[in-house]
Amino acid sequence: DIQMTQSPSSLSTSVGDRVTITCRASQGIGNDLGWYQQKPGKAPERLIYAASSLQSGVPSRFSGSGSGTEFTLTISSLQPEDFATYYCLQHYSYPHTFGQGTKLQIK
Amino acid sequence: QVVLQQSGAGLLKPSETLSLTCTVYGDSFSTYYWSWIRQPPGKGLEWIGEINRSGGIDYTPSLKSRVTISADRSKSQFSLKMTSVTAADTAVYYCGRRIGSSSPIQWGRGTLVTVSS
């Protein structure tokens, strides 16, 4: 199985901050990675697909980069509605696997 | 707009069988791959398995012996069955869809399944 190591697990941040979340794959996955945002009591919502493509309707402050084994999700200027938990998901091979999640908290 | 409507029992006793169904409205069932994930209370997301357009199915190894995913294309439905549940299977279960070459586009609203005696 491909392991996805996501860091940090939590982050205390402020509105306006630039935030970077990293996912490392235990083997190369090309660009078969998505990023998801989950708010309490809600289903995950896709932000980024194919590692760097912005989902329609998602604000442009979100961006993704990387390929192979290292990937990043960047939020350029954190907004109040962005305080949530973020997950990466690899779909390169079965079983698909999620990162452990990164919870953004208000400082 | 595609809607994934989940249904199934939310309270089970240990050793019973979990049975959930996801009904798809608003798009062609045959276009997508259909999957299930779960999230125990306060924890992260776990991928359970997926059925593809051809009917091929893959499961996560840790659950493979207890899980069955199936599809009824005539009803635009797919289902998850999990046998011999324990308290460790208590979680919110989500159904989802994706185009074969991409990550899941959308998840259903989730069903909380509680296993308790």
Q: Nearest CA of chain B to the CA of A23: how many Å?
A: 15
In order, the DSSP letters of chain B are: --EEEEEE-SEE-TT--EEEEEEEESS-GGGSEEEEEEE-TTS--EEEEEE-TTS-EEE-TTTTTTEEEEEEGGGTEEEEEE-S--GGG-EEEEEEEE-TTS---EE---EEEEE--
Peptide bond into B40 cis (omega under 30): no
Please name the residues between 3 and 42 in chain B that touch chain A, using a CB distance below 8 Å. 35, 37
**Dihedral of alpha carbons B101, A46, B68, B29, sign:** negative
Per-residue pLDDT of chain B (117 residues; tens, 9 = 90+): 899 999 999 999 999 999 999 999 998 888 999 999 999 999 999 999 999 999 999 999 999 999 999 999 999 999 999 999 999 999 999 999 999 889 999 999 999 999 999
pLDDT digits (tens, 9 = 90+) for A30-70: 999 999 999 999 999 999 999 999 999 999 999 999 999 99
Number of A/B CB contacts below 8 angstroms equals 58
